Chain A
């Protein structure tokens, strides 16, 4: 069982593992791996705590149903699975500023947190607009050969590569 305590596996081992995992999500749960809708549901549920039941009447929440289901549990599971893996290999670290960021923009915790928040707002908005994320479109949709997913996956990376180069090679 030594492989469980290794810090990194080959990306191909991991990719093959995720591919096989997707067979079983289809077979057992009749679902594809996907994450971003869980965030939209949680967002609606939190808004309900402050603004009451009428939140649920918004057309978007009527469409996705504000119910704790398979995907919200999947995302919770990701946190737990990653924690387990990191603890087993000793790769768990509290860290507020990633090293690539620090080497260009310094070690300010606040600056990095503000950018992470801003990036989160944009990616959360974009995931809803595109109706999926790197897992729902990028892996699950492309492996089903869905046209919507191949277009989305390509533009995720077009936008991402352009913006990352703007941040680190033009501004930074």
Chain B
């Protein structure tokens, strides 16, 4: 087996680390201002009584998608879609969802919750995520031979799946997100 990084550098270069920190501070600031560092807001979304989480996510996806695809067209950025499979994303997604409801936070918002002073996140949820990640690493060799490979489709994007120009998918998705958000507001949700 190829091994890398044994006894070598434990940190990436300084500018990478600094940019990560700067982007993180902005991300955390926004998450807290949006109220999504709070258990009550996230559980409200999962109980379908408070749609803050969905509004934040969908408007981020709408704006992010238009900008990233515009910059991709200009040749400024490359996409980094994650590869996946039915076994990976359906089963993993459901497990994640169950944890999402029990914890009432996710890996990004729990960092924000800790900054907000929430102790159940700091002493319960945070070590829990570390333990869960470690358990997966222990089971990975077995899972990777089986369920994670089931229904593998690689790092496909929707325009590639439908074999069309990017904008043939981007524009309708943008319109659909906009209409969904508009409808949420009309319905008073």
**Which residues of A line the B interface, CB within 8 A?**
6, 8-9, 11-33, 35-36, 38-40, 42-44, 46-47, 53, 56-63, 65-86, 89, 91-101, 109, 112-169
Contact = CB atoms under 8 A, between A and B. Distances in A.
Given A24-B23, A119-B99, A14 B11 contact: no
B132 A124 contact: yes
A122 B132 contact: yes
Given A40-B133, A70-B17, A98-B104, A164 B92 contact: no
9 contacts: A6-B33, A18-B56, A75-B111, A81-B25, A82-B111, A92-B116, A130-B93, A152-B89, A166-B101
B108 A78 contact: yes
B133 A117 contact: no
Nearest to B76: A27
Interface string B15-31: 01111111111111111
- State the main secondary structure of chain B at its contact with A: helix
Contacts of B163: none
Given A98-B118, A124-B99, A129-B91, A20 B67 contact: yes
Contacts of A127: 92, 96, 107, 129, 132-133
B123 A113 contact: yes
Contacts of A130: 88-89, 91-93, 95-96
A152 B23 contact: no
Contacts of B62: 15, 19
- State the main secondary structure of chain A at its contact with B: helix
Interface of B: 1-7, 9-12, 16-40, 43-44, 46-48, 52, 55-65, 67-68, 71, 76-86, 88-104, 106-121, 123-138, 140-141, 143-144, 148, 153, 155-159, 161, 166, 169-170, 173, 181
B107 to A, nearest CB: 4
B51 to A, nearest CB: 8
Contact of B130 (A23, A46, A61, A158): A46
Contact of B115 (A6, A60, A81, A113): A81
Given A113-B120, A132-B82, A141-B81, A119 B101 contact: yes
A21 B60 CA distance: 9
Contacts of B161: 147
A126 B82 contact: no
A159 B96 contact: yes
A43 B113 CA distance: 19
Contacts of B82: 131-132, 136-137, 141, 146, 148-149
B118 A163 contact: no
Contacts of B67: 19-20, 22-23
Contacts of B16: 29, 69-70, 73
A156 B23 contact: no
Nearest to B184: A11
